[in-house]
Every structure is written in C-alpha cells, then in structure tokens.
Amino acid sequence: MNKTLIVLAIILISLVGFSLMNQDRSASTITVQETHTMMQSDTALFLLDVRTPQEWSGSSGHLQGAILIPLQELEERMKELDPHKEKTIIAYCRSGNRSGTAARMLKEHGFKVVNMLGGMIEWNADRLPVVRETGR
C-alpha cells in the first residue's frame, strides 16, 4: 500500500509540475481597445505584425508604427528585436492565432510580450485607425 501511495504522489507532483511549466510558457493577451489606448500613451511599446507581406499591405491595413516580421521568419530574425527587449511587444496578426504562437516564441526568448486578441479582424470591426498602402 505504501508503494502505491508513493507512485501516486510522484505522478501527482509530475502532473502539477508539467502544468506549471506550460502555464509559464503561455503569453498574456490584450484586447484591441487596450492596445489602442496603450498606443496613445505608452512610449515603451513595440508593435509586431506577424502576418504576410500581402496581408500587411492588403485591405485590412496595419497598425501605425508597427514592424512586419512574418511568423515563418520570426525565429531566424529574432535578433532584430533585441534592441526592444525592454519594451512591451504587442504581437498581432489577422485573427490572433499566429500572433499567439509568436508571443509564446518571444516569451521563451525573454521578451515582454502580449498577444492582441482578435487581430486585425477585431481591430477593423471596431473601426480603429489603420495605415493602408496608397491606392487601396
């Protein structure tokens, strides 16, 4: 009976440890409204668009002051973000899915990062300001 309790305790401790490790890797989130407010007042902010170049210059536009690094290039271009390590990075994409992945990657590399929920779909639905390429 003691062996069974010891085995169960080890399993329980392992599951709790695994759960805590996974929680630590998840990125925080922010709404589009919170992002908009922060953009107006926070100078220690860095906007990272992880969509494709076609999406960036497409009809949904992009956020003023944002930098484009597509998700598929993020790992190899991570060093470009080192000068912004002390800033809060807001990652965004079309819907919030790819930026969630990007936020987790950045967090694992020691960046302060949040994922903008809803992405450009939500941003445009709320009729918040965007930059659009000339002629669109």
Over residues 7-35, the mean pLDDT reads 66
The overall average pLDDT reported for the chain is: 87
CB 27 within 8 A of CB 113: yes
CATH superfamily of 28-125: Rhodanese-like domain (3.40.250.10)
Give the domain ranges of the chain.
28-125
Instruction: Write the pLDDT tens digit of every residue in 54-66.
Output: 999 999 999 999 9
The rounded distance, in Å, linking the Cα atoms of 35 and 117 is 10
Q: Is residue 136 scored above 50 in pLDDT?
A: no
Question: 93 catalytic, yes or no?
Answer: yes
Residue 20 pLDDT: 47
Which of 32, 93, 105, 116 is catalytic? The answer is 93
Residue 59 pLDDT: 94
Question: For residue 99, what are the contacts with CB-CB under 8 A and spacing of at least 6?
Answer: 48, 50, 71, 91, 92, 93, 115, 116, 119
Task: Using a cut of 0.85, tell me whether the model's pTM lies above it.
Answer: no
